[in-house]
Structure 1
Amino acid sequence: MMKNVLKIGGGVAAVALGVTLMGTFYTLEEGEQAVIVQFGRPVGAPVTEAGLHGKLPFVQEVRRFEKRILVWDGDPNQIPTKGREFIWVDTTARWRIADAKKFLESVATEAGARSRLNDIIDSVVRDQVSGSELVELVRSASWVIPKDELLAEVPAEAQAELKKEVVRGREELTRTILAKAREVVPQYGIELVDVRIKRLDYVESVREKVYARMISERKRIAARFRSEGEGQSAEILGTMEKELRQIRSTAYRRVQEVRGKADAEATRVYGAAYGADPEFYAFSRTLEAYKEGQNKNSTVILTTESDYYRYLKRANAAPAVRTKR
């Protein structure tokens, strides 16, 4: 019986010793840091080295925190620029827990830290954006004004925008936001590593006006190209008509020259033919005159004294004479 009691007592002691040892030692992984809390209050310095560490069992507990860089993404905010253009600004940041003890005392958790960063970063971003021109937000300080030959193809309104000088630029603006926010966050045990503007966009009402202006500008450029095309088309058609008139004139002159030469040659041939027999020529001309002047419904009455009758008699008598010969 005594042996059983001793065995049970030994087992209980072993369990108690094991529980005590488990409550005394703890391990930290790489990328972790810890704060020892006793009765709800942090004690000692934060533990930042990975490995096996000890604490008082039962009265102390371990609060673990990330040692790596964390991501903060804010909600897009509608902010007016210095020129009163309303834009959506979407910001992101990288941060880490620099002082775990102060972090635990001020914000307690990562969710609390993100909530505090929302207030700090959004406030700084709003101040900087509202005090800057839109051109400073969308361009860098290395912006170079386009050359005159490129600006010639751009509308006058857009030229004024392109010629604006960039004093700070987007990079300088983000550096200013980071510096201003860094002045506030150390009291929460936070180190702000970087702040970036992810996206800028017009609000819906302004976006519609911008799109309408872009469409109007595209239509104006299309109309200018169309007008230039119509002018070139009219010029080409005018040149074509001029060349066609020259070709027709040259062809007509050539036709008249050929026709004149042909008429002259025909006249020469007729003259040579009719000159060989004048009486035959007179007879032929008489026949042509009768043919041209005769009406289909008219009757020609000839006397025996008429030249036409005389020619007919000679024409009928000539074969008879030749027969007698």
Structure 2
Amino acid sequence: MRKPLILVLIAVLVVLYASLFVVQEGQRGIVLRFGKVLRDDENKPEIFNPGLHFKIPFIETVKSLDARIQTMENQADRFVTMEKKDLIVDSYIKWRISDFSRYYLATGGGDVSQAEVLLKRKFSDRLRSELGRLDVKGIVTDSRNRLMTDVRQALNTGSAGDDEEIQTTAADDAIASAAARVERETSGKQPAVNPNSMAALGIEVVDVRIKQINLPAEVSDAIYQRMRAEREAVARRHRSQGQEEAEKLRATADYEVTRTLAEAERTALITRGEADAETAKLFADAFSEDPEFYAFIRSLRAYENSFSGNNDIMVLSPDSDFFRFMKSPEATSLVRP
């Protein structure tokens, strides 16, 4: 009795375990029965919120959809501005699922890659249209935030039709086709959705951002060469101006040196002349008081200068007045006759 009871209990537990499924926080669940989606009264896929739910074991399976914000990195692409200049723009998109039933039907079973392909194509077309209305200065300055806001709103709400001159692209056709498929597979009154917007796929674009804007390699090289030539011209101009200022400073310094030396020499000559005049005046005043002593001193200096060498020879008469101070005091007189 106990063994069959245990087997029955185990079977009940297995069935009960297979009948339960948990939808994690940040996800939504869709139940498929024999590969077909369970639908509600409006023929829309039935969405299970996070929590514990029941299903028919071994018959129904659960597919999970990510309800969190997802990031899609876009490969850097070339865009043309209003000035017909090429730019390499690197960007990314933040998006999430806003209508899970519509998203599931529009993307062929919740295929993320298909949703991102359509989103990327739509974003590229819209960004190309917006960048074509701006110049480079407007893109890299304050207009960038407004540009991103306009692109995000356009992706969520679609083009305004008569208000904007935007041609229908392949991405618009693909999104409209997906929206039409959703309308065919559901019944009941559906909220009005622009088939030109990402809302037609059940997607909401949370944010779009431009990470960096670069110039193409060939344009960057040309701009670099032009900037280098301009900087070299400025450097040459500054160097020539510096050399000119240096020459002016050297000329001014040389002039100041010459003028200072000339003034110093002039002052020295004047001082030396005044000193010589003062010396001569002092000698004259001193010797004028005793002319005989002055004559004696002058004669001694003459003797000193005349007999300075060892082999000096002088041919003079002994009675010459030059030797008068060499004679005996009795024969000479300090006073000339």
TM range, normalised to the smaller chain? 0.7 to 0.9
Partners of 1:314 and 1:193 lie apart in 2 by 131
Distance change >3 Å, CA 201–CA 289, structure 1 → 2: farther
Deviations 1:83-123 (A, max 9, x none): 23332211111111122222222323223322332222222
One-letter amino acid matched to 2:68: R
Q: How does 1:274-289 map to 2 (within 5 A)?
A: 275=288, 276-277=290-291, 281=295, 284=298
Q: How does 1:249-268 map to 2 (within 5 A)?
A: 249-268=262-281
One-letter amino acid matched to 1:312: F
**Alignment partner, residue 26 of structure 2:** 31
The alpha carbon displacement at 1:136 in A equals 1.4
**Alignment partner, residue 119 of structure 2:** 117
**Alignment partner, residue 205 of structure 1:** 218
Partners of 2:321 and 2:284 lie apart in 1 by 24
Deviations 1:143-184 (A, max 9, x none): xxxxxxxxxxxxxxxxxxxxxxxxxx1111111221232223
The alpha carbon displacement at 1:77 in A equals 1.2
**Alignment partner, residue 327 of structure 2:** 316
Distance change >3 Å, CA 285–CA 227, structure 1 → 2: farther
Distance change >3 Å, CA 32–CA 314, structure 1 → 2: closer
Contact 2:29 2:49 in 1 (8 A): no
**Alignment partner, residue 43 of structure 1:** 38
Q: CA RMSD in A?
A: 3.6
Equivalent pairs, count: 285
Residue segments in structure 1 that go unaligned for 5+ positions in a row: 141-168
Partner SS for 1:84: coil
TM-score (norm 1): 0.72
Deviations 1:224-282 (A, max 9, x none): 44444444444444443343334323322321221111221232234345543369649
Contact 1:32 1:48 in 2 (8 A): no
Contact 1:72 1:94 in 2 (8 A): yes
Partners of 2:101 and 2:60 lie apart in 1 by 15
TM-score (norm 2): 0.70
Contact 1:70 1:95 in 2 (8 A): yes
Are 1:57 and 2:57 counterparts?
Answer: yes
Partners of 2:279 and 2:91 lie apart in 1 by 101
Please state which structure has a larger fraction of its residues in helix.
1
Q: How does 1:121-200 map to 2 (within 5 A)?
A: 121-140=123-142, 169-182=143-156, 183=158, 184-200=197-213
Deviations 1:201-233 (A, max 9, x none): 222222233333443444444444444444444
Partners of 2:233 and 2:69 lie apart in 1 by 52
Q: How does 1:28-107 map to 2 (within 5 A)?
A: 28-44=23-39, 45-107=45-107
Partners of 2:204 and 2:150 lie apart in 1 by 16
The alpha carbon displacement at 1:15 in A equals 5.0
Contact 1:283 1:311 in 2 (8 A): no
Contact 1:90 1:199 in 2 (8 A): yes
Distance change >3 Å, CA 313–CA 191, structure 1 → 2: closer
Contact 2:72 2:94 in 1 (8 A): yes
Partner SS for 1:318: coil
Distance change >3 Å, CA 117–CA 314, structure 1 → 2: closer
Contact 1:42 1:101 in 2 (8 A): no
Partners of 2:215 and 2:144 lie apart in 1 by 17
The alpha carbon displacement at 1:60 in A equals 2.5
Partners of 1:124 and 1:236 lie apart in 2 by 63
Seq. identity, %: 23
Contact 1:94 1:194 in 2 (8 A): yes
